[in-house]
Amino acid sequence: MMPDSRVEAFLEMLAAERGAAANTLAAYQADLDDFSSFLGRSAPVSRASAAEIAGYVQSLGSSGMAARTQARRLSALKQFFLFLLREGARADNPAAEVSAPKLPKSLPKYLSESEVDALLDAARGMEGLPGLKAQAGLEILYSTGLRVTEMLSLRASALTTDAMMLLVKGKGGKERMIPLSDAARQAAAALRAASPAKARYLFAGRDISQPMTRQGFALLLKQAAIEAGLDPARLSPHVLRHSFASHLLAHGADLRALQKLLGHADIATTEIYTHVLAERLQKLVQAHHPLAVKPAGG
């Protein structure tokens, strides 16, 4: 392989302008070296064509390489050739139009309904103000699907009335109405009664003029998980949001309603939960279709 001074210049730019760590630079170097080996000729990498780059990506897929690794290799090439374009070393970016492999959609992680019940029972047994925060947080997150930042931003006056709806300001300052459960209102009232009188937020931090941090609340959830006999690594505020959405769909809610409750700007974001809909529809067909196989004696 012919040494390419353009590669060295690219790595120097990453280190100087982006502060790339040694491991990051080594990864870029390895990706560019691998592409150079694929070319198998004396010409420098910087002169590669779009067809050669496309052929390289295709070869990665044929070798059985994971889609995410393929995408990372292509990303390295795109950044390298974009650097050359900006530096005037090339008049084009031959990697720009090469498509990355489709990455598999990861399904959201969520708890079973019995696991949520166990968590709530465990939180009710936790003592003091931390226990009240854990119980109120679990009740509110699971019954509303709020983002943890939305919940921690609730003022101390929130949930003080018998109102059945809560007005929440979400991403981009967009407001939405969320139904409230009796259990959430009662848990909030108990927390508020035990909190310092001058606390500005329902979930006050050590500085009562500031809300509790996300990290602090996450630690409370881990403690509740341990008390409930669950793996704490499986639990986070976002897992509760996913649990809220998945359980609602499993009990008959539709995607459009769920989109409004979660505050998603695009229905495509809500569609990550369609795995729950698919399971529900399969059970419906199995239970009610005339050609479905019925249990013996049914």
Q: Which residues are catalytic?
A: 147, 171, 238, 241, 264, 273
Tell me how far apart the alpha carbons of residues 37 and 27 are, in angstroms, rounded to a whole number: 15
| Residue 10 CB burial class (10 angstroms; 0-12, 13-18, ≥19) | buried
Give 195's DSSP letter.
S
Q: Which residues contact 62 (CB under 8 A, 6 or more apart)?
A: none
Residue the block writes with tokens 């403690």: 223
Terminal-to-terminal C-alpha distance of the chain: 72
Tell me how far apart the alpha carbons of residues 59 and 51 are, in angstroms, rounded to a whole number: 12
> What are the φ and ψ backbone dihedral angles of 88, each rounded to 5 degrees?
80, 10
Tell me how far apart the alpha carbons of residues 179 and 201 are, in angstroms, rounded to a whole number: 20
Tell me how far apart the alpha carbons of residues 262 and 176 are, in angstroms, rounded to a whole number: 9
